[in-house]
Structure 1
Amino acid sequence: MAERAPHATFWEASRGRWHAEPASATRSPFARDRDRIIHSGAFRRLRYKTQVFVAPDGDHFRVRLTHSLEVAQIARSLARALGLDEDLTEALALAHDLGHPPFGHSGEDALERAMAPWGGFDHNGHALRIVTRLESRYPGFDGLNLTWETLEGLAKHNGPIYAPGWALAEVDAAWPLDLASHAGLEAQIAAIADDIAYDNHDLDDGIRAGLFSIEDITAAVPFVAECWAAVTTRWPGVSARRRLVPALVREQIGRMADDLLATVRARLAEHDVRQVADVRGAGRTLATLSPALAAEVQVLKDYLRQHMYRASAVVRLRDPSEAVVASLFGVLHERPELLPGDWAALCPADEPARARHVGDFVAGMTDRYALKLYEALVGPSPLPQEMVT
């Protein structure tokens, strides 16, 4: 491990684990957290969960698992450059999407509406619920028994939380996570690495899917145009777009990373940050792009929202995806005996516990499992037939 800077989160000063365990002879507590996340069932299921395109729709498009791996690579590189704890940063990056239900934001919207009478659904709170309660890999405790710092980073990677939903509130009540303060820099870096990854890799997937061309996006987004000009100038003899578009993505990620590092270093100096407590008490997020580049990147985000996330090829699956999730929740909530195995046996009789138990099960489904169970319990899938096979 590279030498850590004073503003890093030091595992030697960790607040520990909820359930005491002997130390590992080969790994720091944060490295152990990372490994537990990788070996979890929830992490494996990300392979078949939607990122933008419904997972069965094309083998080359990103899904939650590949996105999480890409975020972790970017986050770890940034952490190394800043002298942070790389293992903690990587653990947070790998776990940041664990709480997403099937079918991406469509599934989350449907589950939020379905569970509204019992407190609703939030993927971030559900991620905490997974790692503290739902994973059952260890005989001595529920969950993964992660360190306080990893739980704190998962809870607050997007900033302080003043009104937590029921799932996060339950975790916080059992082991307070200081929700009103900022998290350490490792969590902040994992969060912005997520932004950097999806802004750039969604551009790549959007071009691959034919939703827009490189000519379209360079005409509309000056930042992309500038980076494209740099790439084509650097490689004047290369005409194959399949080589140049990945080079464009690398160029953009590199520029964002360089800008981020310069901005973080300037803010560390501005706030005289000397330890992780200073990061938490700075009163602002320290890991951001500079205002100038953030404004340029916002143009890219707006373009992707309009031409990718709202593209007809994506939108046409939104209503049927929501229908699958809503119907599954409705059927299983009304007839919990249809839940498989221990899920049925352990289903509470009283509310809101019963609805939340069913919500846990639905949220854990992969896209393809949700489609198969829908056909078994409800009927023919409302999604196009090619999405079901």
Structure 2
Amino acid sequence: MKPYATDPAASRGRRFAEAPSATRDAFQRDRDRIVHCSAFRRLRDKTQVFVAPDGDHFRVRLTHSLEVAQIARAVARALGLNEDLTEACALAHDLGHPPFGHSGEDALEAAMAPFGGFDHNAQTVRIVTRLEQRYPGFDGLNLSWETIEGLAKHNGPVVAPTWALSEADTGFPLDLATWPGLEAQVAAAADDIAYDNHDLDDGLRAGLFTIDDVVAVPFVADCWAAVTARFPGVAARRRLVPELVREQIGRMVDDLLATSRARIAAVAPSSVADVRAAGHALIGFSDGMAASAGALKHFLRTRMYTHPEVARLRDPAVEIVAGLFAAFDADPDRLPPRWQATLPAAEPERARHVGDFIAGMTDRYALREYARVIGPSPMPGY
């Protein structure tokens, strides 16, 4: 590894001391704990863009997280960084998402506004530091400092932490005002690469738009021209779409590597401390690729995320999440016994406890709970 990579042997440790493993270093253990935790398994039934009942071929939070981890690990290897820490940050980055994607998050944020609000990044940290209860000696997963730092700051320094992140920071200070190590920065860039390209793939599969529509984006048009020139005998466009996605991901990764290497060389860090002190991200796209990625995001926002077939599920999703919060907040006796047993007596902790319960739900479990507690579901088909 490069001298500016994060060395597990030099980790700042865990909040609760544990004996070292004979077979795995600190970050390998973190990755394994994430993969084995309940919150990670629940990602298989949490919406990425399409609500789970809309089709078995579309991505969900779990498959997205695995795709992010694959891209992130490849980039980390090419840059000489710690692959295991990078993978741990990538696998865990979406653990805090509530059911029904951004619609569910908007509804939960609005419901919890009087109690400090809700943020899925902070909720991820809350899950790994407190809510997972798989070990008898402590709450949370007791991950290494560097892994928790990466989850808290993978989008950069946090200057105004929410209550959940402040709580975690108080218990185990995370230096929130500084940039994270390069491994977390790589995980964040891989997230962008994965969801831009795979959402494009899902949108084409769903018929929300066509290749003729999306080639209005110059970057996509250039990649499509390269693909069709490479396979002139393939007439079926659907056979070329996966190759288009590969072409786009490859170009983005190549640009990310070239730009990041140049930024690293300009700063010449000799340690992770130098990376944190750089004052800006060292992992990122060139200006040209950033503009191309921005244009693709704009297309997806206008032609996919707000498409009538996607938008028609937004109001029902908001109604379900808001309805569940209101019902459990008004009458906590409706909570499952384990959640009743640990219900705090005072606000805002009491409402935050209800928020934790709802945020952990899968789409399908939220639908079942709504039917149990409130009545017929507003979700089409349920």
Does the TM-score normalized on the shorter chain lie above 0.5? yes
Matched, 1:289 2:285: yes
User: Secondary structure of 1:56's partner?
Assistant: helix
Q: Quote the offset at 1:341 in angstroms.
A: 2.0
Determine the structure 1 residue equivalent to 2:201. Answer: 204
Equivalent residue runs for 1:193-272 within 5 Å: 193-218=190-215, 220-272=216-268
Matched, 1:102 2:94: no
In the TM superposition, what whole-angstrom CA distance separates every residue of 1:216-271 from its partner, at most 9, and x where no partner exists? 111x1010000011111111111222321000000000000000000010001111
Match of 2:368 among 358, 368, 372: 372
In the TM superposition, what whole-angstrom CA distance separates every residue of 1:19-65 from its partner, at most 9, and x where no partner exists? 11111111110010000000000000000000000012100000000
Q: State the distance in 1 between where 2:101 and 2:248 align.
A: 25
Matched, 1:61 2:63: no
Equivalent residue runs for 1:52-91 within 5 Å: 52-91=49-88
Q: Look up the equivalent residue of 1:354 and give its one-letter code.
A: R
Match of 1:125 among 122, 131, 140: 122
Q: Quote the offset at 1:84 in angstroms.
A: 0.4
Q: State the distance in 2 between where 1:379 and 1:144 align.
A: 36
Q: State the distance in 2 between where 1:16 and 1:57 align.
A: 43
Determine the structure 2 residue equivalent to 1:351. Answer: 347
Q: Quote the offset at 1:293 in angstroms.
A: 1.1
Q: Look up the equivalent residue of 2:46 and give its one-letter code.
A: K
Q: State the distance in 2 between where 1:341 and 1:76 align.
A: 41
Match of 1:333 among 329, 336, 340: 329
Q: State the distance in 2 between where 1:150 and 1:29 align.
A: 10
Q: Look up the equivalent residue of 2:192 and give its one-letter code.
A: D
Matched, 1:93 2:98: no
Structure 1 unmatched runs, 5+: none
Q: State the distance in 2 between where 1:243 and 1:5 align.
A: 40
Determine the structure 1 residue equivalent to 2:2. Answer: 5
Determine the structure 2 residue equivalent to 1:171. Answer: 168
In the TM superposition, what whole-angstrom CA distance separates every residue of 1:316-369 from its partner, at most 9, and x where no partner exists? 111110010000001001111111121011111210111000000000000000
Q: State the distance in 1 between where 2:235 and 2:375 align.
A: 49
- Higher mean C-alpha displacement, 175-184 vs 268-277: 268-277
Matched, 1:39 2:36: yes
Equivalent residue runs for 1:288-307 within 5 Å: 288-307=284-303
In the TM superposition, what whole-angstrom CA distance separates every residue of 1:263-319 from its partner, at most 9, and x where no partner exists? 010001111222111111111011110001111121111000000001001111111
TM-score where L is the length of structure 1: 0.97
Q: State the distance in 1 between where 2:369 and 2:291 align.
A: 44
Q: State the distance in 2 between where 1:247 and 1:292 align.
A: 22
User: Secondary structure of 1:20's partner?
Assistant: coil
Matched, 1:138 2:135: yes
Q: State the distance in 2 between where 1:57 and 1:38 align.
A: 26
Q: State the distance in 2 between where 1:377 and 1:278 align.
A: 53
- Higher mean C-alpha displacement, 236-245 vs 190-199: 236-245
What is the total number of aligned residue pairs between the two structures?
382
Identical aligned residues as a percent: 70
Give the ranges of 4+ consecutive aligned residues of structure 1 lying more than 4 Å apart after TM superposition. none
User: Secondary structure of 1:168's partner?
Assistant: helix
Q: Quote the offset at 1:192 in angstroms.
A: 0.6
User: Secondary structure of 2:173's partner?
Assistant: coil
Q: State the distance in 2 between where 1:38 and 1:239 align.
A: 41
Q: Quote the offset at 1:118 in angstroms.
A: 0.6
Q: State the distance in 1 between where 2:86 and 2:282 align.
A: 15
Superposed CA RMSD: 0.7
Q: Look up the equivalent residue of 1:199 and give its one-letter code.
A: D
Matched, 1:322 2:336: no
Q: State the distance in 2 between where 1:249 and 1:366 align.
A: 28
In the TM superposition, what whole-angstrom CA distance separates every residue of 1:84-103 from its partner, at most 9, and x where no partner exists? 00000000000000000000
Determine the structure 2 residue equivalent to 1:342. Answer: 338
Match of 2:27 among 30, 41, 52: 30
Matched, 1:180 2:177: yes
